[in-house]
Amino acid sequence: MVNYILYHFQWSLFSLMARYTIALRGKAASPEAEMKIEEKSIDLHRDENLSEQYLLEVNPKGQVPTLTSATLSTPLTNTLEITYLIDNRYPSLIPAPHRSTIEDLLVKLHAIQPLSLSIPPPENRSEGIPNPAIGQYLSQPGISDAWRNALMYKQDFHAKTLLRALDDEPIKRAEEQARRFLEDVRQQYFMHGGETWVFGDAVGATALDAHTIPFVARLIDAGRTDLIPEDVRKYAEKAMSQAEWQNITNGKPTMFEIWLKSMRKDYASMQRDEPFSVWFKRHTQC
């Protein structure tokens, strides 16, 4: 058995994909192939991904998920790479008869920029989606040269991948990609019987299910059900009612803003005297 650490964030779509893959991985190819995976939460809301230790030792992109192990020459910072490594040890995730289809559809899914579909675009898009926290850390006196260089690398990576994600063109591109991908999933689902999993219950859960279901859940939370074929929505909701999904989400939605809104509603219904911030911190320990 080999030890691994998966760094993740509760509200990260790609973290959910990696964690759901682990939850659905099935049996190892052999006792020696077993993976012991410790999960460590990295709170992006508190900029833990911008810490010197995380940027220099874990993931220079400052993203999650990331998989580390003494057996890896370098951390795996890509959700697909993490999935393929797990599949090497748990082959039911990508069964041989369906490998080409699963890998092709996973590539199509991960070509979509989910941020373009997750939040409404701001009224003023001239500055794109800045990350002011990086600038704040860079302005601190006395930070090490290594950390400064890492922050600048992260800043450049953000500018190249996320800064313009809410412009009109990226949104339209992501919408079209999502529609094509989900239609392909729908066709595969009915081709194999339309049961619990895409390739049928006899095959069981695969990596395609482990990545598609979180994606559909995010679209539902973001109010983008217009992109989801009805049959695919029902398939995803059925899987989301099961223990594997509930265990990794604790029954929460995929978006912090949706969950926070529900918590405020609960707080209001209780008519408590204490401030919401105090009640929220005590009640959630989030």
The percent of residues in the chain predicted with pLDDT above 70, rounded, is 87
Measure the CA–CA gap between 252 and 245, rounded to whole angstroms: 10
Residue 271 predicted with pLDDT over 70: no
pLDDT at 91 (0 to 100): 97
With bands split at pLDDT 50, 70 and 90, how would you rate the model's confidence at 279?
very low
Nearest of 63, 75, 71 to residue 17 by alpha carbon: 63
Q: Where are the domains of the chain?
A: 1-93, 94-129+164-254, 259-286
- Per-residue pLDDT reduced to its tens digit, 152-171: 999 999 999 988 888 899 99
pLDDT at 73 (0 to 100): 95
The pTM (predicted TM-score) of the whole model is: 0.90
Q: Which residues of 179-205 are buried (b: 16+ CB within 10 A; e: fewer)?
A: eebbeebbebbeebeeeebbbeeebbb
Q: What is the pLDDT averaged over residues 195-221?
A: 97
Tokens 């990545």 identify what position?
211
Nearest of 253, 276, 279 to residue 11 by alpha carbon: 253
Measure the CA–CA gap between 53 and 40, rounded to whole angstroms: 14
Quick one: which H or E segment has residue 16? helix 13-23
- Per-residue pLDDT reduced to its tens digit, 170-204: 999 999 999 999 999 999 999 999 889 999 999 99
Residue 3 has phi, psi (to 5 degrees) of -90, 135
Measure the CA–CA gap between 275 and 282, rounded to whole angstroms: 11
Residue 274 predicted with pLDDT over 90: no
CATH for 1-93, among 3.40.30.10, 3.40.1360.10, 3.30.1340.30, 3.40.50.720?
3.40.30.10
Q: Of 74-78, 225-229, 255-259, 264-268, which gets the smallest average pLDDT? A: 264-268
Amino acid at 218: R
Q: What is the pLDDT averaged over residues 113-129?
A: 75
The mean pLDDT of the chain is 90
pLDDT at 125 (0 to 100): 57
Task: Show the beta-strand stretches assigned E in the chain.
Answer: 2-8, 35-41, 66-68
pLDDT at 124 (0 to 100): 55
Cα 143 off chain centre by? 31
pLDDT at 280 (0 to 100): 45
Measure the CA–CA gap between 131 and 43, rounded to whole angstroms: 15
pLDDT at 130 (0 to 100): 74
With bands split at pLDDT 50, 70 and 90, how would you rate the model's confidence at 119?
confident
With bands split at pLDDT 50, 70 and 90, how would you rate the model's confidence at 126?
low
Regarding predicted confidence, which is higher, 121 or 158? 158
Task: Give yes or no for a contact between 14 and 211, defined as CB atoms under 8 angstroms apart.
Answer: no
pLDDT at 108 (0 to 100): 98
- Per-residue pLDDT reduced to its tens digit, 38-96: 999 999 999 999 999 999 999 999 999 999 999 999 999 999 999 999 999 999 999 99
Measure the CA–CA gap between 23 and 8, rounded to whole angstroms: 14
Both tokens of residue 78?
A: 């890509």
Residue 212 predicted with pLDDT over 80: yes
Residue 223 predicted with pLDDT over 60: yes
CATH for 94-129+164-254, among 1.20.1050, 2.60.40, 3.40.120, 2.40.40?
1.20.1050
